[in-house]
A and B are shown apart, each in its own frame.
Chain A
């Protein structure tokens, strides 16, 4: 738009400095610099829709900056599991890789928000993908990417006694955030966990049929059900522990993703175990009751355009 055209020049960044920041779990030097300068320039950036912006405006939330956290993480080799047939165990390396990629992403999101003096991050969207970044064999790599808008809340500013306030991360849309605040309920942070379990079952293989008497019977794959329960219990226990640490009275807006699939687990050269992998992940926002104002009763409406 300007005569020089949108500043397509790239200033040489301090690459090695940024890498060591990332290795320490931080954000790159360029990101830190831009966010520092943002306040001086006056204009905010956001990834809010207009409706979100209007709600923020109404609630007295001042958007400060679009913020991001990401981590590309390599999943290492899972040590072979020698448990008995039908006995489940956690694939701890894979669970840990997902949990660390997510933790690093959210830690970076929080750092970005903190460096613009935010009191909360709203409208957070979470994405993860399995990439082909590492051609090292094993289980490949995952990328976790979270984006949102850092906001400052008028009235919450008096919390600044001494140290900078830790921004409250949420996993809520702005509309949900607004509804909670209006009902006197305060989000206190994000809780999340991923757990991947394996159960060895030699007879399970996609496409393989059972022979003999069992083929004629209805029966539950009890080991698989247990494996799924194992992953789920591990996740819910962890969410509860995290919520308690945040002083929350509950968790809302939980989104759950789970898969159960047959897989053969590498047991060293030429050896593999057939079985089922159950993965369970959940993410939600921990909340605490602050006031005692009952949520406003919604007005009932009926859409006269609805077909049928």
Chain B
């Protein structure tokens, strides 16, 4: 699995692949004009939390997924597919982080990681990461422990709420595993014909895929020295790879405790909306 790994170097000054118009946009952002995809409510809440948006940042990668043949009767991870998901994501995220770094941002909020697969390109995956770079107004550094801007898929509302609880985001963490579920053997099928019985090899395949995905997510959080993972989106999907291929995909935001913050919050007030 380790051969053919290409770790993209992190270079905060890299303008690689950014077209002329993009360079002008970043130069404009540096001079103080911000762009964002925040709603008005999000914008105000981010301001209230003591941050200013500095610019819309984007990273993308169109990736070719190699071919892997799965054994008919073997439950196994499709490592080529899993690795493709990881590398494409990493390319897109790193490019976005570099853009944010050039704007002197502390981090990126509201990251949308869109993963597109197309009818016309069975072997293609498109990763696009879009978010709004933000910077703390008083200059208190909020970057991740590795010195890069933090990333999070938190909305402005979630970002505000999280800060109130005495935690801050450090990075998006992902766990993904593409898994091939074996067909059952003929003898096994015959032995179970017509009976109410758990198909334990299928149950096990789901567990294995999920274990691999969760373990990877936890390891990523650990590398960021995170306290925990919130805002998790957990999906089990098949990506059009045939009904015996499943993907376990979970993505969330790793958080740490804010130093010198007691994290006490008021009990929320129940409200009843009388609008309708």
Expressed in whole angstroms, the minimum distance between the Cβ of B232 and any Cβ of chain A is 4
Query: In the complex, are the beta carbons of A57 and B165 less than 8 A apart?
Result: yes
Expressed in whole angstroms, the minimum distance between the Cβ of B248 and any Cβ of chain A is 10
**From B276, which residue of chain A is reached at the shortest CB distance?**
A306
Question: C-beta contact mask, A69-104 vs B, less than 8 Å → 1, else 0?
Answer: 011111111000000000000000100110011001
- Chain A hits for B222, CB < 8 A: 41, 43
Expressed in whole angstroms, the minimum distance between the Cβ of B240 and any Cβ of chain A is 15
A 164-200 contacts with B by CB, 8 A? 179, 182
**From A57, which residue of chain B is reached at the shortest CB distance?**
B165
**From B174, which residue of chain A is reached at the shortest CB distance?**
A6
- Chain A hits for B215, CB < 8 A: 7, 34
Query: In the complex, are the beta carbons of B196 and A93 less than 8 A apart?
Result: yes
Is residue A15 contacting chain B, with contact meaning CB distance below 8 A? Answer: yes
Indicate which residue in B181, B204, B210, B221 contacts A22 across the interface (CB closer than 8 Å). Answer: B204
Q: How far, in whole Å, are A143 and B199 apart by their CA atoms in the complex? A: 10
A: contact size bracket: 35 or more
Q: How far, in whole Å, are A77 and B276 apart by their CA atoms in the complex? A: 50
**From A296, which residue of chain B is reached at the shortest CB distance?**
B270
Give the tally of cross-chain contacts (CB within 8 A). Answer: 228
**From A10, which residue of chain B is reached at the shortest CB distance?**
B77
Is residue B17 contacting chain A, with contact meaning CB distance below 8 A? Answer: no
Query: In the complex, are the beta carbons of A1 and B232 less than 8 A apart?
Result: no
B: contact size bracket: 35 or more
Is residue A50 contacting chain B, with contact meaning CB distance below 8 A? Answer: yes
**From B94, which residue of chain A is reached at the shortest CB distance?**
A1
Query: In the complex, are the beta carbons of B227 and A43 less than 8 A apart?
Result: yes
Is residue A246 contacting chain B, with contact meaning CB distance below 8 A? Answer: no
Stretch at the interface among B56-64, B132-140, B187-195: B187-195
Q: How far, in whole Å, are A93 and B196 apart by their CA atoms in the complex? A: 7
Instruction: Decide yes or no: A54 and B164 within 8 Å by CB, A7-B216, A72-B198, A76-B195 being known contacts.
Output: yes
Expressed in whole angstroms, the minimum distance between the Cβ of B104 and any Cβ of chain A is 22
- Chain B hits for A133, CB < 8 A: 181, 199, 202
- Chain A hits for B90, CB < 8 A: 1, 5
B 195-223 contacts with A by CB, 8 A? 195-204, 206-208, 210-212, 214-223
- Chain B hits for A131, CB < 8 A: 243
Query: In the complex, are the beta carbons of B194 and A138 less than 8 A apart?
Result: yes
Is residue B22 contacting chain A, with contact meaning CB distance below 8 A? Answer: no
Is residue A298 contacting chain B, with contact meaning CB distance below 8 A? Answer: yes
Query: In the complex, are the beta carbons of A74 and B162 less than 8 A apart?
Result: no
Query: In the complex, are the beta carbons of A49 and B158 less than 8 A apart?
Result: yes
Stretch at the interface among B1-9, B25-33, B47-55, B117-125: B1-9
**From B6, which residue of chain A is reached at the shortest CB distance?**
A5
Is residue A270 contacting chain B, with contact meaning CB distance below 8 A? Answer: no
Nearest 4 pairs of A and B residues by beta carbon: A50-B158, A72-B202, A298-B270, A77-B194
B-binding residues in A (CB < 8 A): 1-10, 13, 15, 18-19, 22-23, 27-28, 30-31, 34, 38, 41-55, 57-58, 63, 66, 68, 70-77, 93, 96-97, 100-101, 104, 131-138, 141, 143, 145, 147, 179, 182, 295-303, 306
A-binding residues in B (CB < 8 A): 1-2, 5, 7, 75, 77, 79, 82-83, 86-87, 90, 154, 158-159, 161-162, 164-165, 167, 171, 181, 184, 189, 192-204, 206-208, 210-212, 214-224, 226-232, 234, 236, 243, 250, 252-254, 263, 265-276
